[in-house]
């Protein structure tokens, strides 16, 4: 199974207002594991860089001025993603920009049914949040120390790890190990989970002899009742 974890950086929040994609980063997953194949490019937006956007990703108009246009990289981007499932954090934002850029060139949009949004996954799994990429890294113990600013490829690499954790993580034993851990709901730090205590003496049976006799008689009226097997095993024990 092939999946593409991706991220974009832009000049702002709305392609309809003239904002453009300035960076695309993609990480290929095969059966949920990074294959080592990536796609990354900076893109000349042919416009200025608002200060608010520059503070987020640090990409200036001067730096991007000699980079290729989206039209120059569109074919290689489309070839790289192929028909794979696309995974992003707050995917609606990235898809809004990518499909706008593709539409400007006459390309069909990337279909919504191909998209997995890790923000939606995180909100379902952790309904009380926080569910930003940085918060999820802290929750799952993923090193994001290199993430001093947003960067499309780095964020995609980090998101690939977060996505794995949202799917169930690196605990191939499904969390049934001898030392399970949970997160402190205030600090998100892992803490040891207390083991369930065993009663020193079993609780007494709440059913009296008459009730048990009635139940045994009722089960005897049933044909091929599964309870009969348990009764035989109990009698033989």
The CATH number for 75's domain is: 3.30.420.10
Residue 195 located in a structural domain: no
Residue 96 located in a structural domain: yes
Q: How confident is the model at residue 232 (pLDDT cuts 50, 70, 90)?
A: low
Alpha helices in 58-113 (DSSP H): 61-64, 70-81, 91-104
Say if CB 156 and CB 7 are below 8 A apart: yes
Residue 182 located in a structural domain: no
In the predicted model, is pLDDT for residue 190 greater than 60?
Answer: no
Q: How confident is the model at residue 90 (pLDDT cuts 50, 70, 90)?
A: very high
Cβ-defined contacts of 66-75 (< 8 Å, 24+): 67/41, 67/42, 67/43, 68/41, 68/43, 68/44, 69/43, 69/44, 70/20, 70/21, 70/43, 70/101, 70/104, 70/105, 71/105, 73/24, 73/41, 73/43, 74/101, 74/102, 74/105, 74/107
Q: Are residues 76 and 148 in the same domain?
A: yes
Residues 131-171: tens digit of each pLDDT:
999 999 999 999 988 887 789 999 999 999 999 999 987 55
Q: Are residues 57 and 140 in the same domain?
A: yes
Model pLDDT, residue 108: 97
Residues 204-217: tens digit of each pLDDT:
777 788 888 888 78
Average pLDDT value for residue range 186-193: 50
Residue 198 located in a structural domain: no
Q: Are residues 163 and 213 in the same domain?
A: no
Q: Are residues 144 and 210 in the same domain?
A: no
Model pLDDT, residue 231: 61
Average pLDDT value for residue range 7-36: 96
Q: Are residues 128 and 231 in the same domain?
A: no
Residue 134 located in a structural domain: yes
Which residue range forms the structural domain that includes residue 20? Answer: 2-170
Counted residue by residue, the chain has a size of 237
In the predicted model, is pLDDT for residue 187 greater than 90?
Answer: no
Average pLDDT value for residue range 102-117: 97
Q: Are residues 210 and 126 in the same domain?
A: no
Average pLDDT value for residue range 71-98: 98
Q: How confident is the model at residue 203 (pLDDT cuts 50, 70, 90)?
A: confident
Residue 92 located in a structural domain: yes
Catalytic residue among 89, 126, 150, 215: 150
Q: Are residues 225 and 122 in the same domain?
A: no
Model pLDDT, residue 236: 61
Residue 40 among the catalytic residues: no
- Between 132 and 191, the higher pLDDT residue: 132
Q: Are residues 163 and 216 in the same domain?
A: no
Q: Does the predicted TM-score (pTM) go above 0.75?
A: no
User: Domains in the chain: how many in total?
Assistant: 2
């Amino acid at each position: 199974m092939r999946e593409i974890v991706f991220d974009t950086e832009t000049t702002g929040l709305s392609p309809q207002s003239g904002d453009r994609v300035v960076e695309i980063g993609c990480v290929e997953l095969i059966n949920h594991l990074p294959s080592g194949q990536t796609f990354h490019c900076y893109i000349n937006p042919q416009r200025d860089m608002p200060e608010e956007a520059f503070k987020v990703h640090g990409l200036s108009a001067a730096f991007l001025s000699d980079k290729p246009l989206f039209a120059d990289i569109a074919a290689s981007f489309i070839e790289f993603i192929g028909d794979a499932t696309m995974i992003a954090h707050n995917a609606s934002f990235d898809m809004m920009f990518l499909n706008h850029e593709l539409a400007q060139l006459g390309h069909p949009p990337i279909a919504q049914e191909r998209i997995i949004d890790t923000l939606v996954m995180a909100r379902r799994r952790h309904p009380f949040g926080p569910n930003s990429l940085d918060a999820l890294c802290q929750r799952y113990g993923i090193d994001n120390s290199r993430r001093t600013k947003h960067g499309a490829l780095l964020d995609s690499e980090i998101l690939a790890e977060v996505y794995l954790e949202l799917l169930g993580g690196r605990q191939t034993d499904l969390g049934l190990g001898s030392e399970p851990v949970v997160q402190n709901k205030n600090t998100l730090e892992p803490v040891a989970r207390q083991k369930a205590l065993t009663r020193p003496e079993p609780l007494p049976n709440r059913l009296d002899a008459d009730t048990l006799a009635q139940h045994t008689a009722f089960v005897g009226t049933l044909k091929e009742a599964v309870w009969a097997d348990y009764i035989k095993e109990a009698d033989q024990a």
